[in-house]
Structure 1
Amino acid sequence: MTEHRSGAGWWRDSVFYRVDVRSFADADGDGVGDLDGVLSRLGYLELLGVDAIVLSGVGGLDYEPESLEALLSEAHHAGIRLMVAMDLDPARDDPREVLGAWLDLGVDGFHLDPREGASEPVRAVVDRYPERVVIGSGPGWQLGFNLDLAVAGFDAEAVQDAITRVLFAGDPRPAWAMATRETARDEAALTPVRAMALVQLGLPGAVCLRHGEELGLPGTQRMPMPWEGEKPPFGFSAAEGEWPSISAEWAPFTVESQLEDPHSTLSLYRRALELRNEHPAFRGDEVEWFGAPDGCLAFRRAGSELTCALNTTSEPVPVPPGEVLLSSRPLIGGQLPEGSAVWLC
């Protein structure tokens, strides 16, 4: 069994992996992802090192109850929590009925997109179940979903302002997320993506990833996950036919092609999640800022030795003191390359 965080505060620094079920893995060959498909790829999620899976789109999915029960059982056995994403309107939906049914099944919480004023009645239901958590926007939740880093773009000053603003708010604890990226992927486009991954994963609070983000994938929110092979649908489904939503150019982005490549985006995420989960430097609920060249930033997790430095300029810059734990690109002559980030201890 994988060792993951446990106890009443397990969610505080957890990595939540949102799965759009219809686009993740198709187990029955009908061309649409399903819960059995998620179950079939559970080993990958355990290998990736996520703490919780957030199922999206389950409400409109036709599935057998046994499939959810099996997924819950196997995920928990692997040390992974299982949550559900949903839209909740307290004016039409009774939280006790809607959420209680899921909680009685054994799910570990929700990522809600509720209407204003929902936090109090929802928390009244969820708090009756030990160790359950709600991710939401606005006050009143255990975790506050935010896209402030994504809005800031790849600009050191804007990124620092966003981090300071979110941490200064204090409550709820942040759940950092990045926006879906639409542009075609090449090495130049992946450079800031990889750098911002280290900034995101180096901060106090939880992290929300969307499936495929760890592969550096382009596309829309519900892109089919490319698993293996050289042509569409890249192991997503055994269904015959054309796959216009899956580009043939995605072959270098499959899990299979990146898994054993130590320089791939997937390998960077795997190592980052491993360090975040196991290294003692990843503690402390505040950040301390250091002086940095223009176009750069550097912060330390208060109470620890972890330092994260980001270079958004077009030139290499000196690296802060410390032993390198992980960098988004190899250092050049002891300097941090342009468009890169590094963790030091």
Structure 2
Amino acid sequence: MSQQHSPSGSPLTEAAVATVAAPRRDWWRDAVIYQVYPRSFADSNGDGMGDLEGVRSRLPYLRDLGVDAVWLSPFYASPQADAGYDVADYRAVDPMFGNLLDADALIRDAHELGLRIIVDLVPNHSSDQHEWFRRAVAEGPGSPLRDRYHFRPGKGKNGELPPNDWESIFGGPAWTRVTEPDGTPGEWYLHLFAPEQPDFNWEHPAVGDEFRSILRFWLDMGVDGFRIDVAHGLVKADGLPDLGTHDQLKLLGNDVMPFFDQDGVHEVYRQWRQILDEYSGDRIFVAEAWTPTVERTALYVRPDELHQAFNFQYLGTDWDAKELRTVIDRTLESMRPVGAPATWVLSNHDVTRHATRFANPPGLGTQIRTAGDRALGLRRARAATLLMLALPGSAYVYQGEELGLPDVVDLPDEVRQDPAYFRGEGQDGFRDGCRVPIPWTRAGSSYGFGAGGSWLPQPAGWGDLSVEAQTGVPGSTLELYRSALSARRSQPDLGAGDAVEWLRAPEGVLAFRRGEFVCVANTGGEAVATPAYGRLLLASGEITEADGEAKVPADTTVWWTTG
């Protein structure tokens, strides 16, 4: 006799939300960390912009979802030229998000709920409105403050050409010429991102002193860790040499560049680690480090440096069993010698949501402008999530992916705010599509985001994907996430670890064992038959079991336990 199981068809998957875990050491080795993009999460005062009080009001939702920690994208004082990644004051909260008292209340409430708080740190560059930079420009050539950035005379007869041929990640030259106090064209300054984001010169001791002080400021506030933005970019090659190619942006992430992944960054992080280790509570560093290989990424997480580094090689892998197995094996093999946990991530604030990436043909990269096949994308996204959460190590969840949100690919040009969009080259500038405020309720002007609309327009039908619409609905994507995170906590063989035992499987299928736990992911376009490895824990789609065999549909992942 056969029995059919829905995605939430076992007693475990119908269980109430996970309970708060007691504090434990090395929690970060198997943590599920939820990224909050503050401006798009929850708006407490009706101005259309999310804020810290809004995040604080939704902390119980995150506890009930079953995550271990919350990573907050920047909320510091900023002109917002790049959504807060241009920081004017690292010790102040931007008024659009609240104030330091709001940050303190958020941290305290999170801790009472058993959640940890990780804040973004932006050490590669500041805002051009940072006091140091404003004074450097105002004081003119020879100002000691210019040494804290990369100011250089230009090339050419009258200094009219940039000092070297580096290109901005956002497109165009990586240099901007200043107007000196006397009104004449003057020196140039380096900015690997927007012109409003001048790069710090980490060879200058004042820069290191300042950031060690900033670390202590937020550690004293009670934060549990830092996500380090552009962790690979702090140190530049001596002499700032020309790169000598006209397709620099195509090389990013594929080759060592004179401005990225220089070996000198590691001394910075060894110093930072000493500070972190002075504090109790098992606090952590997470690196955003785009490197050519996972082996280079592993250098950032040696025992005396950072704790975790994002696995961008995994994020960029297509929904293909062979490709996935290769990157999983390389990741685990690279992390094992340094004793660091692997990390797994499918979406964040800089890439097209994976429900949309997987809705499109493979090979298009991580920034896609077309909606694709929505049903296919969601089916694959759910399956990819269960695969990710089954792997050894730590996982990251981007706000709204637990609702199955797609990218909003049809935003009107006039509402876009991604600075890369206005540069006209470089990154395609369509990151706003993954930053649209998330829906909480079925109805309302902003589907529960806030009382005053939202800073980016939400699509019609957003309410059908809302938290309210999915809560308690068997088989919904939200309940799938809740069930998966509950199972992950209850199964001793899930979470931390550094290896999987691969099982024989049909072409297009990944199957592996971890102790008494078995995961099978069918990335192919047809249903396949596999052994029914034990008691069904969870499935991303409907499966059928009969006589010890399971029929696993296309784009479906299944969890079993043999215990």
Query: Which residue of the partner structure matches residue 114 of structure 2?
Result: 79
Shift of 1:287: 0.6
Give the secondary-structure state (helix, strand or coil) at the position aligned to 2:310: strand
Counterpart of 1:222 (choices 435, 439, 442) is: 435
Shift of 1:286: 1.2
Q: Which runs of 5+ in 2 are unaligned?
A: 1-17, 78-93, 125-199, 236-264, 290-296, 357-369, 408-432
Check if 1:202 corresponds to 2:390: yes
Check if 1:133 corresponds to 2:321: no
Shift of 1:204: 0.8
**CA distance in 2 between partners of 1:20 and 1:243 (Å):** 13
Counterpart of 1:173 (choices 336, 341, 353) is: 341
Letter in 2 for 1:38: V
Query: Which residue of the partner structure matches residue 479 of structure 2?
Result: 267
Counterpart of 2:316 (choices 122, 144, 151) is: 151
Shift of 1:18: 0.7
Query: Which residue of the partner structure matches residue 490 of structure 2?
Result: 278
Check if 1:107 corresponds to 2:197: no
Query: Which residue of the partner structure matches residue 56 of structure 2?
Result: 39
Shift of 1:230: 2.7
Shift of 1:231: 5.0
Query: Which residue of the partner structure matches residue 23 of structure 2?
Result: 6
Paired residues, number: 342
Letter in 2 for 1:16: I
Shift of 1:33: 0.6
**CA distance in 1 between partners of 2:520 and 2:445 (Å):** 38
**CA distance in 2 between partners of 1:272 and 1:5 (Å):** 19
Is this contact kept in 2: 1:259–1:267, CA < 8 A? Answer: yes
Counterpart of 1:325 (choices 537, 546, 549) is: 537
Check if 1:190 corresponds to 2:378: yes
Give the secondary-structure state (helix, strand or coil) at the position aligned to 1:332: strand
Which one has a bigger Cα radius of gyration? 2
Query: Which residue of the partner structure matches residue 67 of structure 2?
Result: 50
Is this contact kept in 2: 1:233–1:243, CA < 8 A? Answer: no
Can you list the C-alpha shifts for 1:13-53, whole angstroms capped at 9, x where unaligned? Answer: 01100101111000011111111000111111111011001
Shift of 1:318: 1.7
**CA distance in 2 between partners of 1:330 and 1:276 (Å):** 20
Give the secondary-structure state (helix, strand or coil) at the position aligned to 1:18: strand
**CA distance in 2 between partners of 1:24 and 1:239 (Å):** 14
Give the secondary-structure state (helix, strand or coil) at the position aligned to 2:479: helix
Query: Which residue of the partner structure matches residue 271 of structure 2?
Result: 121
**CA distance in 2 between partners of 1:161 and 1:122 (Å):** 33
**CA distance in 2 between partners of 1:54 and 1:83 (Å):** 4
Query: Which residue of the partner structure matches residue 182 of structure 2?
Result: none
Aligned-pair Cα RMSD in Å: 1.9
Counterpart of 1:337 (choices 537, 541, 553) is: 553
Give the secondary-structure state (helix, strand or coil) at the position aligned to 1:173: coil
Can you list the C-alpha shifts for 1:260-298, whole angstroms capped at 9, x where unaligned? Answer: 211111110000000111222325431111111111111
Can you list the C-alpha shifts for 1:46-68, whole angstroms capped at 9, x where unaligned? Answer: 11011001111212332222211
Shift of 1:244: 5.4
Q: Which runs of 5+ in 1 are unaligned?
A: none
**CA distance in 1 between partners of 2:326 and 2:315 (Å):** 12
Give the secondary-structure state (helix, strand or coil) at the position aligned to 1:11: helix
Query: Which residue of the partner structure matches residue 526 of structure 2?
Result: 315
TM-score (norm 1): 0.93
Q: Relative to structure 2, which stretch is displaced further, 267-276 or 177-186? A: 177-186
Shift of 1:232: 4.2
**CA distance in 2 between partners of 1:254 and 1:149 (Å):** 28
Letter in 1 for 2:228: L
Is this contact kept in 2: 1:232–1:247, CA < 8 A? Answer: no
Q: Relative to structure 2, which stretch is displaced further, 68-77 or 54-63? A: 54-63
Check if 1:237 corresponds to 2:387: no
Give the secondary-structure state (helix, strand or coil) at the position aligned to 2:464: helix
Query: Which residue of the partner structure matches residue 195 of structure 2?
Result: none
TM-score (norm 2): 0.58
Query: Which residue of the partner structure matches residue 70 of structure 1?
Result: 105
Percent identical among aligned pairs is: 39
Query: Which residue of the partner structure matches residue 21 of structure 1?
Result: 38
Letter in 1 for 2:215: L
Is this contact kept in 2: 1:194–1:265, CA < 8 A? Answer: yes
Counterpart of 1:163 (choices 308, 311, 328) is: 328
**CA distance in 1 between partners of 2:34 and 2:43 (Å):** 18
Is this contact kept in 1: 2:505–2:530, CA < 8 A? Answer: no
**CA distance in 2 between partners of 1:4 and 1:99 (Å):** 27
Letter in 2 for 1:15: V
Give the secondary-structure state (helix, strand or coil) at the position aligned to 1:285: coil
Is this contact kept in 2: 1:87–1:112, CA < 8 A? Answer: yes
Q: Relative to structure 2, which stretch is displaced further, 122-131 or 205-214? A: 122-131
**CA distance in 1 between partners of 2:22 and 2:525 (Å):** 39
The runs of at least 4 aligned residues of structure 1 exceeding 3 Å deviation read 182-186
Can you list the C-alpha shifts for 1:228-253, whole angstroms capped at 9, x where unaligned? Answer: 0235411111015x875211121221
